[in-house]
Amino acid sequence: MRKRLQLLFILLAGISYKAQDNTLAASVNSPAAYQTGVPDISFPLVSLPATKDMNISFGLAYNARSYQKGGYSGNIARNWMLTGGNFKITRDLVNGWPEEIEAKEYWDDKYYYNLNGEQGSFKFEKSGIYPNDTYKIIKLTPSNLIINCVRINVTNGFTPRIIQSFTVTDSKGYKYYFTEYDESKFTYSNGGTTSPTMKLRNTFYIKKIEDAQSRTVVTFDNANYSNDNNDTWCYVPEKVTTAYGSINFEHGDSNEASYTYDFPVQDRYFISGITLNDHKGAFISKSKLKITSSHNFEPNIDGGRDIWYRTLTEISRVDKNNNLADKISFIYKMYPISVYGTSYQPAIDSDTGILSEINYSSGKKVEYNFTFTKIKSPYDFNDPVFINSIKDPATFIYGICFYNELPPDIPIDTKYNRKYILTSSRFLHSPSTRIQVGFSTTEWYPNEPVTNPTFSPGGSEPERPKVFRYRLVDPYPVTGYATPYQESGSAVFIINPSHNVYLEVDGSGGKGLFSLVEKDYLPPPYNNTISGSLVLESIKFYDIAEGTHPSNIFNTYDLKKTINYDYSLFDGSGLSSGVLSEDQEDAVIYKNLKITEMTSRDIRSIISRHQTIIQNLFLIMLKYKPISI
């Protein structure tokens, strides 16, 4: 009887899977979230029963503001996330330092969990000192979850007591075991002459789920990817198994896109396919993800560095022979932003593409249009105190402050010179000013042959590695030190031009170029507005025109419906109703949202009315035709 019930459950699940084969268009409505202006765009991909009241499901979700330029693309691609059964506990280093090395008792790091549809956060409160130290979990999100944590054993009070695992129990008695974790080597200062290292763990991955009777109902196998030194690694989902079947993940390697690519190991591997099998291993369904890997050099990130990212361009359904059954494709659009009134650049990566179009194999199309809002400044930019603060070299407010070029560029050739003096006559402001130095190389000089055990275990190295780097030196430093050397990109400095400041090149050297820009500012009065955030402005729904085949690249479409979103204050100011969030500097919450919907019938009515107006105007023009003289 039990086998029959299990078989019936599998058959019912199979019916569910079959129904999902045609649900790639399930996200067609995707309304904007009222408070943030971000649309919910999601695609369910697979669902596997585990018990009578638990399914393990996976899908993809798009959030136009989730990817930060220069950050990681995650398991999928920028702004795309694997949702559902991708259970994790992830830490946010609030102050940039792991709390395990901080002496204070009330720690700031936040831990976020995603647990079978329930999301929330918590933090730790430490009491006592080694060996009597204890750690209490403080829930930041009300819930019935019981969260337990195990930390490593230490033999002294100087070793950070890092987390070993989490166990979470929900209201139904299910236990979730997070026993795998990413890890990287973190170097920190202890106030002395040494720089100790610790194992930094920020993400904890689920390994299994047990029911209230301690029976394992779901197992999670994760693939481990590590760097060459095996001191940094991460996990990517590989297989999820229940009594009723399994979900299997295929992985891609971003570095295979080009021999020049060098994705960090934490962001190198991604999910390229998801297959659902029954309990006997028989094929049920498969989704394939078409993902491209890319690289840019960004001069405005960390003084200039390479960034690596991925883009999802297609989701397809295939049968067991990999024949195409259904397909969705994605098109992205750039939204350049002109920042005003803030001391930070928005982390959103809007200039390399925000989702603008979803095309379905059925011939339907959904078009998303975004815009950047403006909000009322919480400060008076024309207050004398603020105006005076603009003159401070340390202050930089986008839209009010800007950089002036200081020609000519300075050519570098270390065969003749390694110090390049910046004369005071080059600069516009004194006694101190803010500059940004650009550094580019055109030719590298090799080192002379040397015996260098550092670079050769055998003791002989024909040539040391090429080194070409620079630093800024102030004989009477404003900032109190000569800056450290850096090998590429640009850097910002505050200098006193009268101090005979100079740029110094180090290493084997070569040829290159220094460029200089200096901070300046616009005169008042200033607009009392600041840049808001990227929000959804409209969604347009199309059907392919009659007589046009979906595979034709020259398709024409009929507009069926338009939804417009308005976040205004509605006071005639033209500003949005957004206010800055207290929890996050660049997050904006909107108080008002007006939604208007227009169908194809409304559009035809408007067009017809406009045609009548045009015809009447034409008749009037004929009636009052001017007389030629």
On whether both 459 and 543 belong to a single domain, the answer is no
The one-letter amino acid code at 307 reads I
Whether residues 504 and 540 fall in one domain: no
Last-in-domain residue among 496, 521, 546? 521
Does one domain contain both 547 and 419? no
Tens digit of each residue's pLDDT (9 = 90 or more) over 246-267: 999 999 999 998 878 889 898 9
| β-pair partners for 164 | none
With the C-alpha atoms ordered 479, 480, 482, 486, is the resulting torsion angle positive or negative?
Answer: negative
Confidence at residue 159, expressed as pLDDT on a 0 to 100 scale: 83
Confirm if 64 and 78 have CB atoms less than 8 A apart.
no
Q: Evaluate whether residue 621 is within a structural domain.
A: no
Residue 629 has pLDDT above 60, yes or no: no
Tell me which residue has tokens 């180090």: 506
When pLDDT is averaged across residues 75-80 and rounded to a whole number, the result is 93
pLDDT at 300: 64
Sign, CA dihedral 189-190-193-198, equals negative
Token pair 């976020």: residue: 112
- Amino acid, res. 260: T
How far is 541 from 29, CA to CA, in rounded Å? 9
604 within a domain of the structure (yes/no): yes
pLDDT digits (tens, 9 = 90+) for 345-390: 766 665 668 999 999 988 899 999 999 999 999 889 999 999 999 9
Residues linked to residue 424 through DSSP beta bridges, in sequence order: none
pLDDT score, position 175 = 97
Residue 149 lies in a domain: yes
Contact 428, 520 (CB under 8 A): yes
Question: Are 11 and 4 contacting, i.e. CB atoms less than 8 angstroms apart?
Answer: no
Rounded Cα–Cα distance for residues 466 and 488 (Å): 13
Q: Has residue 10 got a pLDDT over 90?
A: no
- Between CA 134 and CA 128 the distance in angstroms is 6
Question: Would residue 579 count as lying in a domain?
Answer: yes
Residue 112 sits in the same domain as residue 239: yes
The yes-or-no verdict on residue 500 having pLDDT over 50 is: yes
Q: How far apart are CA 176 and CA 139, in angstroms?
A: 17
Q: Is 611 helix (H, G, I), strand (E, B) or coil?
A: helix
* H-run or E-run covering 410: strand 410-413
626 in a structural domain:
no
For 38, the 3-state DSSP assignment is coil
Higher pLDDT, 175 or 611: 175
Q: Average of pLDDT values for 534-557? A: 81
Same domain? 373 vs 410: no
CATH number of the CATH domain containing 405: 2.60.120
Residue 526 domain flag: no
Strand partners, 124: 137
The continuous run of DSSP H or E covering 139 comes out as strand 134-139
**Domain annotation covers residue 451:** yes
Higher pLDDT, 291 or 15: 291
Number of domains in the chain: 3
Shared-domain flag, residues 37 and 84:
yes
**Residues contacting residue 150 through CB under 8 Å, at least 6 positions apart:** 163, 164, 165, 166, 167
220 pLDDT exceeds 50? yes
Mean pLDDT estimate for the chain: 82
d(CA 618, CA 392): 62
* Other beta carbons less than 10 A from residue 536's beta carbon: 24
* Same domain, yes or no: 145 and 283: yes
Among all chains, which residue has been given the structure tokens 């630093």? 471
More confident site: 254 or 608: 254
Tell me which of 459, 487, 521 is where a domain ends. 521
Share of the chain above pLDDT 70, in %: 79
DSSP secondary structure string for all residues of 142-188: --S-EEEEEE---SSTTS---EEEEEEE-TTS-EEEEEEE-BEEEE-
Nearest Cα to 567, choosing from 529, 541, 538, 607?
Answer: 538
Using 50, 70 and 90 to split pLDDT, how confident is the model at 615?
A: very low
Q: 407 and 389 in one domain?
A: no
For residue 101, give the amino acid letter.
I
Q: What's the confidence (pLDDT) of residue 14?
A: 34
Distances (CA, A) of 501 to 419, 420, 482, 515: 10, 9, 10, 15
Helix, strand, or coil here: 396?
A: coil
User: Residue 213 pLDDT > 50, yes or no?
Assistant: yes
Distance CA 356, CA 330 (A): 8
Residues 29 and 176 in one domain: yes
Is residue 400 a contact partner of residue 381, using CB atoms and an 8 Å limit? yes
For the stretch 251-265, what's the b/e string if a residue is b when 16 or more beta carbons lie within 10 angstroms of its beta carbon? bbebbebeeebebeb
* DSSP-based helix, strand, coil % in the chain, nearest 5: 10, 45, 45
Q: Which domain holds residue 575?
A: 339-348+357-393+532-613
The number of angstroms, rounded, from the C-alpha of 106 to the middle of its chain's C-alpha atoms is: 29
- pLDDT for residue 545 is more than 60: yes
For CA atoms 16, 17, 18, 22, give the dihedral sign. Answer: positive
Residue 460 and residue 568 in one domain: no
Q: What is residue 152's predicted lDDT score, i.e. its pLDDT?
A: 92
Cβ proximity of 444 and 508 under 8 Å: yes
Identify whether residues 458 and 475 lie together within a single domain.
yes
Looking at per-residue confidence, does 12 or 299 come out higher?
299
Question: Pairing state of beta strands 410-413 and 419-421?
Answer: unpaired
- Per-residue confidence band for 26, with pLDDT thresholds at 50, 70 and 90: very low
SS3 91: strand
Q: How far apart are CA 515 and CA 412, in angstroms?
A: 11
Residue 197 near residue 185 (C-beta atoms within 8 A) = yes
Residue 142 lies inside a defined structural domain of this protein: yes
Out of 521, 550, 566, a domain closes at 521
Same domain as 343, residue 314: no
Of 64-68, 191-195, 314-318, 410-414, give the lowest mean pLDDT range: 191-195
At residue 552, the pLDDT reads 59
pLDDT band at 480 (very low <50, low <70, confident <90, very high): very low
In order of 139, 171, 561, the CA distances from 146 in angstroms are 10, 8, 46
Residues near 338 by beta carbon (within 8 Å), at least 6 away in sequence: 399, 531
Q: What is the DSSP string of 561-615?
A: EEEEEE-B-SSSS--B-EEE-SS-TT-EEES--EEEEEEHHHHHHHHHHHHHHHH
Q: Which band of pLDDT confidence, cut at 50, 70 and 90, is reported for residue 585?
A: low
